């Protein structure tokens, strides 16, 4: 999971990322932007990553496997922000 950090996701802004559910269904989203939280510190890594999709293919809030060739595959909790935008929040000790 440490490969999915602020710097690595920020560097991939604009690139596609694959989202997979437990049934094996896949959807491609675009890494839109990555924003550090005001709570980010030397002790805690806190940021949000935002992904853009297509309004015709929506996914509900839940845990999904994210996959990118540079980052590998990890499971994260993703929430929809609108019909086309999704948010991943990372809050972990460094």
Burial class (CB within 10 angstroms; exposed 0-12, middle 13-18, buried 19+) of 24: exposed
For residues 64 and 86, is the Cβ–Cβ distance under 8 A?
A: no
The ranges assigned to domains in the chain are: 6-93
- Kindly state the DSSP code that residue 37 receives in the 8-state scheme: -
Prediction pTM value: 0.94
For residues 51 and 85, is the Cβ–Cβ distance under 8 A?
A: yes
Work out the pLDDT band at 1, boundaries 50, 70, 90: low
19-71: pLDDT as tens digits:
999 999 999 999 999 999 999 999 999 999 999 999 999 999 999 999 999 99
Within 13 Å and on the Cβ side, how many CA atoms surround 33? Answer: 4
* 84: phi then psi, degrees, rounded to nearest 5: -130, -5
């Amino acid at each position: 999971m440490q490969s999915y950090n602020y710097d690595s996701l920020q560097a991939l802004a604009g690139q596609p990322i694959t989202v997979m559910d437990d049934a094996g269904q896949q959807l491609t989203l675009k890494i839109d932007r990555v924003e550090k939280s005001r709570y980010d510190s030397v002790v805690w890594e806190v940021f949000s990553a935002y992904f853009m999709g297509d309004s015709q293919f929506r996914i509900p809030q839940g845990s999904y496997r994210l996959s990118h060739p540079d980052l590998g595959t990890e499971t994260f909790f993703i929430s929809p922000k609108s019909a086309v935008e999704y948010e991943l929040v990372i809050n972990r000790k460094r």
